Every structure is written in structure tokens, then in C-alpha cells.
Structure 1
Amino acid sequence: MEESDYRQNITIQYCFPDHNASCRKEVKEGPGYMFLCFVLSCISVCTVFLNLLVIISISHLRQLHTPTNLLILSLSVADFFVGLLVMPVNIMQLMDSCWYLGTIACIIISIISFVSMLGSLCSLILIAVDRYIAITDPLLYSTRITVHKTVLAIILGWCSYLCYLIIFLYFNDYFFQSQLSTRCYGECVLVVKYTWVIIDLVISFLAPCSITLILYSVIFKVARHQAKAIRAVKSDASNKHGVKRIGSSEIKAAKKLGTVIFVYLACYIPYYLSSMSVNNLASSSMVWTVFGWLININSSVNPLIYAIFYSWFRASAKYILTCRIFEFSTSRLNTFPDHLN
């Protein structure tokens, strides 16, 4: 018995062998585990690459400088940082249970993760409002929603959530580093007070998602009425053309962006529901890891939705990948025949 205990102690590894309070190191080996890390690494690279295509396309091509596309650009920026910073750190923690980057880096990475999540949420809310106005008041949409107003709304939205994040971190004592897990040295686990779990659930999920779902329910209700109007004016060719121009294209755009909204909800609902039963926002449990990666993968899915539904993204991606974007006056290239497609 003593010999077996001795052998067991020999196999124990520590994150920091020279530190008396070091965490135990989990040795994770095997082809299945290595394959998982490889797949997640590919997802990270694809997330960065695809969102970078969206960012370059909308930023460079003047034809894509529309209010709706600027909101998509805001969403892609948030998703880009998820793939560039959040995913690699999560993969690193999967490969090695130890945290070697120190306390400050643990807080910074957590803040970046929160900012990316809140930035995505802010963009999705603004997208829902944009589509709501486009459907319910299409004739005045171009005057009510302009590029400058959209840029201002994006800045105010991000700043509002950034202020909320600062308050959230302050009242959870992150700035004083007292809420970091101190069970052992070499662990990155941020503890959140249960009161703030409830507050964050309401502010970051229930309230904005409820608003978004209400707006889209109105959008699709109006869309059905517009579809009936299109069928009702078949006898008047000119009137039919006018209604179709106003209604059909906007309905089409609303359905495409609605897909982004509902994919977002499907990825985030498990995370927020599970947050009600735990006291920290970073856990080593397998269930929590899966829910966390489900949120990360949402950042990979969004540009794939653009590639499937948007002809302008496919056309602009072709220009970028073939290096035609470096040609003279490519910023004025026509990426799609239909301005709202």
C-alpha cells in the first residue's frame, strides 16, 4: 500500500514545482485530445480570417458603407478579437490546466472576453433596431438612419457597455485582485458575487434579448402584411413594383440578419442559464468549458452566415483573396447589383 502511494506521488506534477502553494498540473494526452485541440485551433484561425475578410470588405469598399453594414462591421470586430485572443487562451488552458501568465494577464484576458461578448450584444441590438425602422418606416429610413448616426450609435453603445463593465468589475473587486481564486498558485478563476450574476443576467441577456425578440416579432408581422399588400396590387404593375421595392428587399434583409440573432441566442442561452447555478465565470468543469466554447464558436458562425446569404461578401472576398483589392480605385468596385442584397 505504501509503495503504491509512493508511485502515485511520483506521477503528481505541479504547475510551479518551486512554489509551495502551486496547483496540481493535469496531464492531458492521447490522440483524441490532440485532435480536439487541432480542431479548435483551426476554428480560431478561421474565425480570425473570416471576420477579417468582413472587416476589410466593409472598411475598404465604399459601396458597402451603409448603416446596416456598419453594424455588421461592429459585430465582426468583436468576433475578430474573440478568435484572435480569447480562443487561443482557452485552447492553451485546455492543453495545460495551469495558468502561467500571472494575475494581471488573467484579469486582462477576462476583460477582453467580456468586452467582446458585450460588443457583440450591442451590435445585435442595434441591428434589430435598424431592421425594425427599415421595415416599419421604409420611406423615411434613409433620412432617419444615416451613416453618421449609425457610427454615433455604435460608439455610444460600446461606451455604455464599457461603463457597465467597469462598474461590474469594480463591485466584484477585480481591480483589487481580491476576487481571484486563491486555492492554489497557477490558476485563473474569477469569482463573481451571486448578486451580480443576477444583475448581469438581466442587463446582458434577458433585457436586450427580450427587446430584440419583440422587435423581430413586429418585423415579421409587418413583413406578412407587406407580402399581402404585394399580392393585392398585382393588377397595377407600377404600384406593384413600388411596393416590392420597398417591402421585399427589406424583408429579405431582415430575415438574413434575423438568422444571426437567433444563432446568437442559441449559443448564449446555455451559458447564461448555467451561470445561475455556479459562482464563478471561469470554471474548469467540462460542462462549463463546452458552454464557453459554444459562445466562442458563435463568432465563427456569423461570417459563414454572411458568406451563405450575402452576395456582396462573396464578391468582396473574391477581390481580396485574388489581391485585386490592391488595384487602383478598387474601393469603388461594384460588389452586387442589388444595393440591399
Structure 2
Amino acid sequence: MDSDGFEIPEGLFCYDVNGSCPKSIRPNSKRIPIYAAIGGTILITVCGNLVVIISIAHFKQLHTPTNFLVMSMAVVDLLLGSMVMPYSMVRSVENCWYFGDIFCKVHSSTDMMLCTASILHLCFVAVDRYYAVCNPLQYKAKITGFVVMMMITISWMLPAVVSFAVIFLGLHMKGVEEFYNNHTKCTGGCVLFLNEASLVFGSMISFYVPGVIMVCIYGKIYLIASKQARAIKGVANKAKEASRSRISRNRERKAAKTLGIVMGDFLLCWFPYLFCNIMDPFLNYRTPPVLFEVLVWFAYLNSTFNPIMYGFFYIWFREALKIILFGKGFQCGSSTINLFSD
């Protein structure tokens, strides 16, 4: 019964209490395919990134600065697929949050942290590729094991501190508490509600500024790589050593191109959600919730696409996948197998 004495039909709300969020009413003919599609996406995300992590960790030939950054980024995507996406799936399909208010904050903080960590990893990968392609003679001196470890540490620690501090200290709600309590808050909901300052500052720091930096870096890499390619093409075949150096440099350019495509995929997947999110406060929070759900899943797909692109562009990924699937990775000395010719 509601406050006016009218009976509330069963199943229309997340909980049988006053102020409960309305539940999504979908027949099983729609609910089951949606769960199957999202569940399949989560499985591909987890398994694909797990293969990337195992491959780079196991095979010594893949122990390079770039690949360690790629492996750390794959860990970010793996955690997103295993710790964030399953709970988001239930929330999206049912329009209800059944896991409690505290875990809602943990989930939102983790989601924000992993999104920011992804783009910071991509930023550092861009820096790594810049030195490899544009300053190859300084590459080993500049990009040392210590430098890579610092890059990875910053990519994890900075987003973790900022994300959890913003959510658990309530900084994201300053000045909009009354609006949230009157128009959005309900029992059984888990909405990442951000004020204008949090949205603008957070989006600029975690997406727009790094995105512009990466575009500029990869633009310069592309120009220099194109110039090098033309120079190499114009030089006649020389000694074997020169040929070996040319192959090595071609590999560096190909790696830069591939990782540039990975970066472009990230920007394409996340931009619609972040643009809609940053505009929402200025539209008086009128964006339909269902649109947010669709856009956030489109953004999550970035973590699904990354290992698929590795498989398409990198021969080492395909070879490592074969070795892992056929159980050859457990054989003695498998870590020294050549996945590609030097």
C-alpha cells in the first residue's frame, strides 16, 4: 500500500519499502538474451585479457618495457571485467542495486579508478613509443626498468587515491545534495551522481587532457615514422646489419601504429559516455538513465576490444594463444620459445 492507500503491484519496485526505486519490468524472452549477451561480453573480456597477462608474464621474449605497460593495462581491463561489469550487468538489466550502499560506493570508486588508470597507461605507452620511434638511440637510457615501474605505479596509485577520496569523502555531492535527495535518491539504486565541479575537473584530468596529449604524441610519431619509411625506401639494399636494423625499426613503427589504434579505440568508446556525463549537470540532470546505461556499456567494450586487437595485429599474441590452448606452456623451457623472429 502507498501513502494514499492504493495498492502497489508486486514486482514493480526493487524493495517492498517506501521510497524504493522502480524495477525494470522485462519478460524472460528479453531478459535472458540481454543477460546472455552481456555475460558473453564479460567472459570475452576476462579470458582475452588473461591471455595477454599470461603471455607477457610467461614468455621471456615479451619482457620489454612496452609489453610490461600493456600487461599492466590488461590487468586493469581484467579487473574491470571481473569486479565491475558483473554488478553493472545486474543493475542495467534489473534497474536495481541489491548489494548495499557501502558496496555501491566501492563499485563506483573502482569503476572510476579503472577508467582513469586505463588512459594513464595509454599515456605512458605513448611516451614509450615516442622514444622508441623518434629517439631510438636514447630509448634504452630513458625508458629503464625503474622508469617503467614508476609509470605503472603512478597509473595505479593516482587514480585509486583520487577516485576513492572523491566518493567516500562525498566531494562529488557538494552543493547538489538537495537535488539528489529530492529527484534521484531511492532505495535500491546506485547512481554515480557528480556535481559540476567534479565532472568538469575529473573529466579534464582523467580523459580530455591526457587524450589531447596522446593525440599530439601519436601525431608526431606518425609524421616521423612516415619520414623514416620514405628515407628507408629510397635507400638501396645494403649490408645485412642495415637490413636487420631496418626490420627492427619497422617493428617499432608497427607497434606504435597498433598501440595508436588501441588508443583511438579507447577514445571512441569512452568519449560518448564522458561527453554525455559532463553535459548532464548543465542540462539539469535530464539525461535519460537508460541512455547512460547504454553508453557506459559501450565504454566497457573498450576492455573487451583490446585483446581482440592484439590478436589481430600481433603475431606473438596468436602464437602465445596457440601454445596456451594446447597446453604447451606447461612444458619445460616453454618460456624461451620464440614467438616471432628477431
TM-score computed with the length of structure 2 as normaliser? 0.88
Aligned CA distance change for structure 1 residues 119 and 81 (closer, same or farther; 3 Å): same
Residue 285 in structure 1 maps to residue 289 in structure 2: yes
Deviations 1:180-203 (A, max 9, x none): 867321111232111111101210
Aligned CA distance change for structure 1 residues 105 and 226 (closer, same or farther; 3 Å): same
Deviations 1:163-184 (A, max 9, x none): 33244336644799x9686732
Residue 95 of structure 1: CA displacement?
2.9
Residue 36 in structure 1 maps to residue 40 in structure 2: no
The whole-number CA distance in structure 2 between the counterparts of 1:243 and 1:116 is: 38
The whole-number CA distance in structure 2 between the counterparts of 1:207 and 1:118 is: 12
Specify which of 324, 329, 334 is matched with residue 330 of structure 1. Answer: 334
The whole-number CA distance in structure 2 between the counterparts of 1:326 and 1:124 is: 32
More moved, 186-195 vs 32-41: 32-41
Specify which of 316, 319, 332 is matched with residue 312 of structure 1. Answer: 316
Residue 184 in structure 1 maps to residue 182 in structure 2: no
The answer to whether the Cα contact below 8 Å between 1:138 and 1:246 also exists between their aligned partners in 2 is: no
Equivalent position amino acid for 1:233 in 2: V
More moved, 227-236 vs 317-326: 227-236
The answer to whether the Cα contact below 8 Å between 2:172 and 2:198 also exists between their aligned partners in 1 is: no
Residue 239 of structure 1: CA displacement?
7.7
Residue 149 of structure 1: CA displacement?
2.3
The whole-number CA distance in structure 1 between the counterparts of 2:164 and 2:23 is: 33
The answer to whether the Cα contact below 8 Å between 2:172 and 2:194 also exists between their aligned partners in 1 is: no
The answer to whether the Cα contact below 8 Å between 1:103 and 1:188 also exists between their aligned partners in 2 is: yes
The answer to whether the Cα contact below 8 Å between 1:234 and 1:240 also exists between their aligned partners in 2 is: no
Counterpart residue number, 1:101 = 99
The answer to whether the Cα contact below 8 Å between 1:319 and 1:325 also exists between their aligned partners in 2 is: yes
Residue 266 of structure 1: CA displacement?
0.5
Residue 91 of structure 1: CA displacement?
1.3
Equivalent position amino acid for 1:228 in 2: R
The whole-number CA distance in structure 2 between the counterparts of 1:10 and 1:36 is: 25
Counterpart residue number, 2:83 = 85
The whole-number CA distance in structure 2 between the counterparts of 1:36 and 1:15 is: 19
Structure 1 portions without partners, runs of 5+: none
Residue 77 of structure 1: CA displacement?
0.5
The whole-number CA distance in structure 1 between the counterparts of 2:11 and 2:41 is: 32
Counterpart residue number, 1:197 = 199
TM alignment of 1:236-275, pairs within 5 A: 236-237=238-239, 241=243, 244-275=246-277
Secondary structure, counterpart of 2:280 in structure 1: coil
TM alignment of 1:121-132, pairs within 5 A: 121-132=119-130
The answer to whether the Cα contact below 8 Å between 1:172 and 1:193 also exists between their aligned partners in 2 is: no
Residue 302 in structure 1 maps to residue 298 in structure 2: no
Equivalent position amino acid for 1:10 in 2: P
Deviations 1:84-117 (A, max 9, x none): 1221112111332221111001001111111211
The whole-number CA distance in structure 1 between the counterparts of 2:277 and 2:22 is: 26
The answer to whether the Cα contact below 8 Å between 1:230 and 1:243 also exists between their aligned partners in 2 is: no
Aligned CA distance change for structure 1 residues 161 and 112 (closer, same or farther; 3 Å): closer
The whole-number CA distance in structure 2 between the counterparts of 1:262 and 1:11 is: 46
Equivalent position amino acid for 2:232 in 1: I
The answer to whether the Cα contact below 8 Å between 2:69 and 2:121 also exists between their aligned partners in 1 is: yes
Residue 230 in structure 1 maps to residue 232 in structure 2: yes
Equivalent position amino acid for 1:15 in 2: C
The answer to whether the Cα contact below 8 Å between 1:26 and 1:97 also exists between their aligned partners in 2 is: yes
Equivalenced residues, count: 330
The whole-number CA distance in structure 1 between the counterparts of 2:111 and 2:158 is: 17
Equivalent position amino acid for 1:268 in 2: W
The whole-number CA distance in structure 2 between the counterparts of 1:57 and 1:243 is: 26
Equivalent position amino acid for 1:50 in 2: G
Structure 2 portions without partners, runs of 5+: none
The whole-number CA distance in structure 2 between the counterparts of 1:169 and 1:103 is: 12
Secondary structure, counterpart of 1:14 in structure 2: coil
Secondary structure, counterpart of 2:97 in structure 1: coil
Between the aligned residues of both structures, percent identity stands at 32
Residue 12 of structure 1: CA displacement?
5.7
Counterpart residue number, 1:46 = 44
Aligned CA distance change for structure 1 residues 297 and 98 (closer, same or farther; 3 Å): same
Counterpart residue number, 1:156 = 154
Residue 284 of structure 1: CA displacement?
6.8
Counterpart residue number, 1:139 = 137
Counterpart residue number, 2:12 = 13
Secondary structure, counterpart of 1:44 in structure 2: helix
The whole-number CA distance in structure 1 between the counterparts of 2:164 and 2:33 is: 38
Equivalent position amino acid for 1:78 in 2: V
Secondary structure, counterpart of 1:199 in structure 2: helix
More moved, 258-267 vs 147-156: 147-156
